[in-house]
Amino acid sequence: MLGSDLVKFLGQHYKITAIDKHNYQQYVGKNFDVLINANGNSRKFWANQNPYLDFEASTISVYKSLFDFKFKKYVYISSVFLYENFPVAKISAKNAFEDRELDVKNFSPYSLHKFLSEQMVKRYASDYLIFRCNTMIGKNAKKGVVFDILNNKELFITLTSKLQLITTKEVANIIHNLISKKISGEIFNVGGKGQLSFVKAEKFFQKKIKISANAEKQDIEQDVSKLNKIFKLKTSEEYLTDFIENLN
């Protein structure tokens, strides 16, 4: 979802080369001004059930990319779940800020592999940006709460859950903005300001939402004040409204 949308939206500003597993080898050794790594496994439950395979998909792939390509700036898409393990019921903005010292001793495989990837980017890329993204929404989604609602699937979170949302288009805008400002060597939390309470979800989507009998409450938010000082963020509700209005 994110990779294809970055190609689409950043392609309005830059000459883009889209690299995936099918054409990877033909670009090895090539030079790029900016290399954006939106690769890696995003299936969190799968990662924790298959730690070695997730390490290959999410960490070894990052390490290889740092040496397989030549670049001036490296942009790595990381995760909010560095602040707490997945699955987790709650992440609070009071504790989820970029300068927090992370304790890796009890990390789940998913969280550990994202953390290790960040360390490699910081070690081997002289000019980098790292984005710890919260729940992203885009038209090319194949999973996630918004995808499930649109496709009349049962949600595995309760309507009392609260999530922090941002559109893939806005993530592209943020990357473009920070590259243009020549910001380097920084980690940013990425998400809308505040959260969407899913009690309001039926109003936004104008449909009855199905809830699984196994649904659990989630309350996920990270502090985005650092990014908001540089790039004016909208609220999570505003991002969801933008997404719904541009569905067709």
The token duo for 106 is 């009890």
Query: pTM, whole model, 2 decimals?
Result: 0.94
What pLDDT sits at residue 202?
A: 86
What pLDDT sits at residue 116?
A: 96
What pLDDT sits at residue 97?
A: 95
If we measure between CA atoms, which residue out of 184, 189, 138, 133 comes closest to residue 9? 138
What pLDDT sits at residue 85?
A: 76
What pLDDT sits at residue 142?
A: 83
Q: Please state, in angstroms and rounded to a whole number, the distance separating the CA atoms of residues 19 and 26.
A: 9
Q: Please state, in angstroms and rounded to a whole number, the distance separating the CA atoms of residues 115 and 108.
A: 11
- Domain locations in the chain as residue ranges: 2-141+166-191+219-233
Residue spans of the chain under pLDDT 50: none
Which residue shows structure tokens 């989507």?
Answer: 205
Residue pLDDT, tens place only, 150-191:
899 999 999 999 999 999 999 999 999 999 999 999 999 999
Domain 2-141+166-191+219-233 of CATH type 3.40.50.720: yes
Distance of CA 98 to the CA centre of its chain: 15
